[in-house]
Homo-oligomer: A and B are copies of this chain.
Amino acid sequence: MENTSTMEIKVGIMGYGNLGRGVECALKNAPDMRLAAVFTRRSPENMKILTPGVGVYRAEEAEGMTDALDVLILCGGSATDLPVQTPKYARLFNAVDSFDTHARIPAHFAAVDAAAREGGKTALISCGWDPGMFSVNRLYAGSVLPDGKDYTFWGKGVSQGHSDAIRRIDGVLNARQYTVPIESALEAARSGKNPSLTVREKHKRECFVVAEEGADRARIEREIKTMPNYFDEYDTIVHFITEEELKRDHGGIPHGGFVIRTGKTGKNGENSHVIEYSLKLDSNPEFTSSVLVACARAVHRLNAEGNVGCKTLFDVPPAYLSPLSAEVLRRTLL
């Protein structure tokens, strides 16, 4: 592949953690894109990236490199990084992020939209799987079956937030928490009977905990199970294991889930339908990165058409995510 073609979309990565490295890997499978720069808050001198010949820069240098990039992919976290970074850089670059704090999306959208319009740029926010591919599936399903009901289940997968919460308990050295959808609730959702499912009925929480030697395990287990917001509304299972077992059996970051919509059609709603979308992911950050890269392609095209401001996947024609031409897509995928 010719790496210097001016036709290729030049992509920058802001933040080189799990997500940033995933974007770098995903770009290798994008024939129409290439990695042009990586920005980091660490010391660029001490950082090695996977792609030969690509420069690593201090985050502050990005502002001076607007001509070197077509799209900047923001790979920070939703808690503190993205609320600042995406509005900041959306004024200077076409930008993509995976902002995933659902309740704060309207405020984030407004801030990014104002910045992008000011700079004549296009931004695409919340491009992961939830929000992201799950949201798109909720939208299609609800539009096709308006007389119906949605259910979203998450897991089986690692929740970083819940794992962190356990690690903050006195006497805990390390922990891994899995969110697990409950099979009977999945079946009830698919049944079309529109059941009302409580938080406890939909998911359970399974925790693998490494405790300090001599720590009071009964207390730790009690503190986990009664922790407000995180665990008290769920049935929670706690396993104590060694650090070696944790490393060996729980080193991955798998995740996934289900979006199910059931709905009725006909003269008197006599026919039922079930639409189900599911993901089973070995690596949560790498799948999110793969969505980000497809979205970078779309944002570049939207901006080339003069469609500026903040967008979400709801606003993007699906064809814009693909490197294939409209004619090839119609012939091979329709």
Contact of A333 among B142, B144, B266, B275 (CB under 8 A): B142
Whether A265 pairs with B294 at a CB distance below 8 angstroms is no
Instruction: Please give the number of chain A residues whose Cβ is less than 8 angstroms from any Cβ of chain B in the complex.
Output: 66
A: residues with CB less than 8 A from B are 22, 25-26, 29-30, 50, 102, 105-106, 109, 126, 131, 133, 135-140, 142-147, 190, 265-267, 271-283, 286-287, 289-291, 294, 312-319, 321-323, 326-327, 329-331, 333-334
Whether B146 pairs with A334 at a CB distance below 8 angstroms is no
> Given that A273-B282, A314-B326, A322-B142 are known contacts, is A106 also in contact with B265, CB under 8 Å in the complex?
no
Whether B315 pairs with A317 at a CB distance below 8 angstroms is yes
What would 14 A/B residue contacts be, using CB atoms closer than 8 Å? A109-B330, A133-B144, A135-B334, A139-B322, A139-B333, A265-B290, A272-B282, A274-B278, A275-B277, A276-B278, A312-B334, A315-B317, A315-B326, A316-B317
Please indicate the chain B residues that have their CB under 8 angstroms from the CB of A126 in the complex. 334
Whether A277 pairs with B274 at a CB distance below 8 angstroms is no
- How far apart sit A313 and B277, CA to CA, in the bound complex (Å)? 18
Give chain B nearest CB distance to A316 CB in angstroms. 6
Give chain B nearest CB distance to A165 CB in angstroms. 25
Please indicate the chain B residues that have their CB under 8 angstroms from the CB of A271 in the complex. 281-283, 286
> Given that A139-B329, A266-B286, A282-B273 are known contacts, is A291 also in contact with B105, CB under 8 Å in the complex?
no
Whether A140 pairs with B131 at a CB distance below 8 angstroms is no
Closest to A99 in B: B334
Whether B314 pairs with A318 at a CB distance below 8 angstroms is yes
> Given that A281-B273, A290-B265 are known contacts, is A331 also in contact with B105, CB under 8 Å in the complex?
yes
Give chain B nearest CB distance to A254 CB in angstroms. 9
Give chain B nearest CB distance to A50 CB in angstroms. 6
> Given that A265-B22, A283-B265, A283-B266 are known contacts, is A140 also in contact with B136, CB under 8 Å in the complex?
yes
Give chain B nearest CB distance to A130 CB in angstroms. 9
Contact of A131 among B135, B145, B276, B334 (CB under 8 A): B334
Please indicate the chain B residues that have their CB under 8 angstroms from the CB of A267 in the complex. 25, 50
Whether B277 pairs with A277 at a CB distance below 8 angstroms is yes
Please indicate the chain B residues that have their CB under 8 angstroms from the CB of A106 in the complex. 327, 330-331
Interface contacts beyond A50-B267, A133-B140, A135-B333: sample of 10 additional A-B pairs, CB < 8 Å, sorted by A: A105-B334, A131-B334, A140-B321, A143-B322, A144-B294, A265-B289, A271-B282, A274-B279, A312-B330, A318-B318
Give chain B nearest CB distance to A193 CB in angstroms. 14
Contact of A275 among B279, B321, B330 (CB under 8 A): B279
Give chain B nearest CB distance to A216 CB in angstroms. 38
Q: When A and B form their complex, which 6 residue pairs have the shortest distance between CB atoms, in order from nearest?
A: A271-B282, A143-B321, A314-B319, A271-B283, A265-B286, A274-B280
Closest to A150 in B: B333
Give chain B nearest CB distance to A294 CB in angstroms. 4
Please indicate the chain B residues that have their CB under 8 angstroms from the CB of A29 in the complex. 146-147
- How far apart sit A136 and B25, CA to CA, in the bound complex (Å)? 25
Please indicate the chain B residues that have their CB under 8 angstroms from the CB of A287 in the complex. 144, 265, 273
